[in-house]
Amino acid sequence: MSVWADPWGMDDIRVGTVIRAVRMRRGLRQRDLAAAAGVSQSTVSLVERGRLTALTVSTVRAVASALDVWLPFEPRWRGAELPRLLDERHANVVGRVVEELRSRTWQVRVEYSFNWRGERGSVDVVAWLSGQRAILLVEVKTQLVDVQELLSTLDRKRRLVPGIVTGELGWRPVTVGSVVVLPEETRARSAISRHAPVFRPPSRPGTSTSGTG
Protein backbone atom coordinates (compact mmCIF):
# COMPACT_ATOMS: atom_id res chain seq x y z
CA MET A 1 0.00 0.00 0.00
CA SER A 2 1.40 3.39 -0.94
CA VAL A 3 1.53 6.28 1.51
CA TRP A 4 -0.57 9.23 0.43
CA ALA A 5 0.33 12.89 0.66
CA ASP A 6 -1.97 15.59 -0.67
CA PRO A 7 -0.81 18.39 -3.01
CA TRP A 8 -1.20 21.05 -0.28
CA GLY A 9 1.36 19.47 2.03
CA MET A 10 -0.63 17.10 4.23
CA ASP A 11 1.88 14.33 4.86
CA ASP A 12 0.62 11.08 6.35
CA ILE A 13 4.16 10.01 7.25
CA ARG A 14 4.64 13.23 9.22
CA VAL A 15 1.39 12.63 11.12
CA GLY A 16 2.60 9.16 12.06
CA THR A 17 6.00 10.48 13.08
CA VAL A 18 4.43 13.09 15.37
CA ILE A 19 2.12 10.53 17.01
CA ARG A 20 5.03 8.17 17.64
CA ALA A 21 7.29 10.94 19.00
CA VAL A 22 4.65 12.22 21.44
CA ARG A 23 3.81 8.68 22.56
CA MET A 24 7.43 7.92 23.30
CA ARG A 25 7.94 11.29 25.01
CA ARG A 26 5.14 10.30 27.40
CA GLY A 27 6.67 6.91 28.02
CA LEU A 28 3.72 5.01 26.56
CA ARG A 29 3.73 1.73 24.69
CA GLN A 30 1.59 1.28 21.60
CA ARG A 31 -0.82 -0.88 23.58
CA ASP A 32 -1.09 1.84 26.24
CA LEU A 33 -2.06 4.39 23.61
CA ALA A 34 -4.43 1.91 22.00
CA ALA A 35 -6.24 1.40 25.31
CA ALA A 36 -6.49 5.15 25.90
CA ALA A 37 -7.88 5.74 22.40
CA GLY A 38 -10.21 2.75 22.42
CA VAL A 39 -8.60 1.13 19.38
CA SER A 40 -6.40 -1.87 18.71
CA GLN A 41 -2.61 -1.88 18.94
CA SER A 42 -2.46 -2.68 15.22
CA THR A 43 -4.41 0.53 14.54
CA VAL A 44 -1.86 2.57 16.47
CA SER A 45 0.87 0.86 14.47
CA LEU A 46 -0.86 1.83 11.20
CA VAL A 47 -1.12 5.44 12.33
CA GLU A 48 2.52 5.62 13.34
CA ARG A 49 3.59 4.17 10.00
CA GLY A 50 1.55 6.77 8.14
CA ARG A 51 -0.97 4.28 6.76
CA LEU A 52 -3.86 6.69 7.31
CA THR A 53 -5.75 5.76 4.15
CA ALA A 54 -6.49 2.38 5.76
CA LEU A 55 -8.31 4.09 8.64
CA THR A 56 -11.28 6.39 9.17
CA VAL A 57 -10.75 10.04 10.07
CA SER A 58 -12.49 9.52 13.43
CA THR A 59 -10.10 6.67 14.29
CA VAL A 60 -7.00 8.72 13.52
CA ARG A 61 -8.39 11.62 15.53
CA ALA A 62 -9.11 9.31 18.47
CA VAL A 63 -5.49 8.20 18.56
CA ALA A 64 -4.22 11.77 18.27
CA SER A 65 -6.67 13.06 20.88
CA ALA A 66 -5.47 10.49 23.41
CA LEU A 67 -2.09 12.26 23.21
CA ASP A 68 -3.55 15.78 23.11
CA VAL A 69 -2.36 16.10 19.52
CA TRP A 70 -4.55 18.29 17.32
CA LEU A 71 -5.03 17.21 13.70
CA PRO A 72 -6.60 20.06 11.72
CA PHE A 73 -8.62 18.98 8.71
CA GLU A 74 -9.10 21.55 5.97
CA PRO A 75 -11.05 20.61 2.84
CA ARG A 76 -9.96 22.43 -0.31
CA TRP A 77 -11.64 22.84 -3.68
CA ARG A 78 -10.66 24.92 -6.70
CA GLY A 79 -8.56 27.48 -4.90
CA ALA A 80 -10.53 30.59 -3.99
CA GLU A 81 -13.88 29.19 -5.13
CA LEU A 82 -14.58 27.25 -1.93
CA PRO A 83 -14.55 30.30 0.41
CA ARG A 84 -16.90 32.10 -1.99
CA LEU A 85 -19.19 29.09 -2.08
CA LEU A 86 -19.30 28.84 1.73
CA ASP A 87 -19.79 32.59 2.11
CA GLU A 88 -22.73 32.43 -0.28
CA ARG A 89 -24.43 29.67 1.74
CA HIS A 90 -23.77 31.54 4.97
CA ALA A 91 -25.13 34.80 3.53
CA ASN A 92 -28.29 33.06 2.32
CA VAL A 93 -29.03 31.64 5.77
CA VAL A 94 -28.33 34.98 7.44
CA GLY A 95 -30.68 36.67 4.97
CA ARG A 96 -33.50 34.29 5.83
CA VAL A 97 -32.93 34.84 9.56
CA VAL A 98 -33.07 38.63 9.09
CA GLU A 99 -36.29 38.42 7.08
CA GLU A 100 -37.94 36.26 9.73
CA LEU A 101 -36.92 38.51 12.61
CA ARG A 102 -37.98 41.72 10.85
CA SER A 103 -41.34 40.20 10.04
CA ARG A 104 -41.78 39.78 13.79
CA THR A 105 -40.87 43.45 14.49
CA TRP A 106 -37.32 42.84 15.73
CA GLN A 107 -34.70 45.50 15.01
CA VAL A 108 -31.70 43.82 13.40
CA ARG A 109 -27.98 44.45 13.12
CA VAL A 110 -26.02 42.12 10.81
CA GLU A 111 -22.33 41.24 11.35
CA TYR A 112 -22.17 43.22 14.55
CA SER A 113 -18.48 43.58 15.46
CA PHE A 114 -17.21 44.27 18.95
CA ASN A 115 -13.92 44.98 20.71
CA TRP A 116 -14.03 45.07 24.48
CA ARG A 117 -10.76 45.35 26.37
CA GLY A 118 -8.95 43.31 23.76
CA GLU A 119 -11.69 40.71 23.28
CA ARG A 120 -12.73 40.92 19.66
CA GLY A 121 -15.41 39.17 17.70
CA SER A 122 -18.58 39.53 15.71
CA VAL A 123 -22.13 38.26 15.90
CA ASP A 124 -23.87 37.19 12.70
CA VAL A 125 -27.14 38.80 13.78
CA VAL A 126 -28.00 40.89 16.84
CA ALA A 127 -31.72 41.53 17.22
CA TRP A 128 -33.65 43.80 19.61
CA LEU A 129 -37.31 43.58 20.61
CA SER A 130 -37.97 46.87 22.35
CA GLY A 131 -41.38 45.99 23.81
CA GLN A 132 -39.87 43.01 25.65
CA ARG A 133 -36.46 44.63 26.15
CA ALA A 134 -34.96 41.44 24.76
CA ILE A 135 -31.76 40.87 22.82
CA LEU A 136 -31.22 37.82 20.63
CA LEU A 137 -27.75 36.77 19.48
CA VAL A 138 -27.85 34.60 16.37
CA GLU A 139 -24.93 32.41 15.33
CA VAL A 140 -25.26 31.02 11.80
CA LYS A 141 -23.35 27.85 10.94
CA THR A 142 -23.40 26.13 7.56
CA GLN A 143 -21.94 23.08 9.29
CA LEU A 144 -21.44 21.97 12.87
CA VAL A 145 -17.78 21.07 13.41
CA ASP A 146 -16.68 21.71 16.99
CA VAL A 147 -19.56 21.89 19.47
CA GLN A 148 -17.39 22.77 22.45
CA GLU A 149 -15.82 25.68 20.59
CA LEU A 150 -19.27 26.84 19.50
CA LEU A 151 -20.60 26.79 23.06
CA SER A 152 -17.54 28.64 24.33
CA THR A 153 -17.97 31.29 21.64
CA LEU A 154 -21.66 31.73 22.43
CA ASP A 155 -20.94 32.03 26.13
CA ARG A 156 -18.34 34.74 25.50
CA LYS A 157 -20.71 36.71 23.27
CA ARG A 158 -23.58 36.43 25.74
CA ARG A 159 -21.23 37.78 28.40
CA LEU A 160 -19.87 40.72 26.41
CA VAL A 161 -22.34 41.87 23.77
CA PRO A 162 -25.34 42.94 25.92
CA GLY A 163 -23.23 45.48 27.80
CA ILE A 164 -21.62 46.71 24.59
CA VAL A 165 -24.89 47.31 22.75
CA THR A 166 -26.24 49.16 25.77
CA GLY A 167 -23.46 51.70 25.40
CA GLU A 168 -23.36 51.80 21.59
CA LEU A 169 -27.01 51.39 20.61
CA GLY A 170 -28.90 52.35 23.74
CA TRP A 171 -30.52 48.94 24.03
CA ARG A 172 -30.95 48.02 27.69
CA PRO A 173 -32.00 44.37 27.75
CA VAL A 174 -33.56 42.53 30.65
CA THR A 175 -33.57 39.29 28.66
CA VAL A 176 -30.72 37.89 26.57
CA GLY A 177 -31.14 34.88 24.33
CA SER A 178 -28.91 33.09 21.87
CA VAL A 179 -29.67 30.71 19.06
CA VAL A 180 -27.68 28.66 16.57
CA VAL A 181 -29.12 28.47 13.07
CA LEU A 182 -28.15 25.77 10.59
CA PRO A 183 -29.41 25.09 7.06
CA GLU A 184 -32.49 22.91 6.75
CA GLU A 185 -30.75 19.81 5.47
CA THR A 186 -30.15 16.21 6.48
CA ARG A 187 -26.54 16.72 7.52
CA ALA A 188 -27.45 19.56 9.89
CA ARG A 189 -30.33 17.59 11.43
CA SER A 190 -28.03 14.62 11.97
CA ALA A 191 -25.44 16.82 13.69
CA ILE A 192 -28.07 18.25 16.03
CA SER A 193 -29.35 14.74 16.81
CA ARG A 194 -25.84 13.57 17.72
CA HIS A 195 -25.51 16.41 20.21
CA ALA A 196 -29.13 16.48 21.39
CA PRO A 197 -28.32 16.72 25.14
CA VAL A 198 -26.20 19.80 24.49
CA PHE A 199 -28.86 21.62 22.48
CA ARG A 200 -31.86 20.56 24.56
CA PRO A 201 -33.53 23.69 26.03
CA PRO A 202 -33.11 24.06 29.81
CA SER A 203 -36.07 23.03 31.92
CA ARG A 204 -38.23 25.68 33.52
CA PRO A 205 -38.58 25.90 37.31
CA GLY A 206 -40.93 23.25 38.57
CA THR A 207 -40.59 21.06 35.51
CA SER A 208 -38.32 18.23 34.51
CA THR A 209 -36.88 17.13 31.20
CA SER A 210 -35.99 13.69 29.99
CA GLY A 211 -34.43 12.33 26.88
CA THR A 212 -33.77 9.07 25.17
CA GLY A 213 -30.32 7.61 25.09
Averaged confidence pLDDT in the chain: 82
Please state the domain extents for the chain. Answer: 12-65, 81-199
Residue 3, pLDDT > 80, answer no
- Residues 191 and 140: their CA atoms lie apart, in Å, by 14
- Residues 6 and 8: their CA atoms lie apart, in Å, by 6
The neighbouring-strand residues paired with 56 are none
Of 116, 155, 115, the closest CA to residue 137 belongs to 155
Residue 87, pLDDT > 80, answer no
How many CA atoms does the CB half-sphere of 52 hold within 13 Å?
21
The neighbouring-strand residues paired with 107 are 128
pLDDT digits over 169-201, tens only? 999 999 999 988 888 877 777 777 777 777 666
> 12-65: which CATH topology?
434 Repressor (Amino-terminal Domain) (1.10.260)
pLDDT digits over 113-132, tens only? 888 877 888 899 999 999 99
The neighbouring-strand residues paired with 134 are 129, 175
SS3 call for 178: strand
CATH number of 81-199: 3.40.1350
Does the pTM surpass 0.85? The reply is no
pLDDT average, residue stretch 41-67: 92
SS3 call for 115: strand
Of 42, 43, 75, the closest CA to residue 60 belongs to 43
Q: Are 3 and 50 in contact (CB under 8 A)?
A: yes
Long-range (24+ apart) CB contacts under 8 A made by 75-78 are 76/8
- Residues 32 and 36: their CA atoms lie apart, in Å, by 6
- Residues 35 and 33: their CA atoms lie apart, in Å, by 5
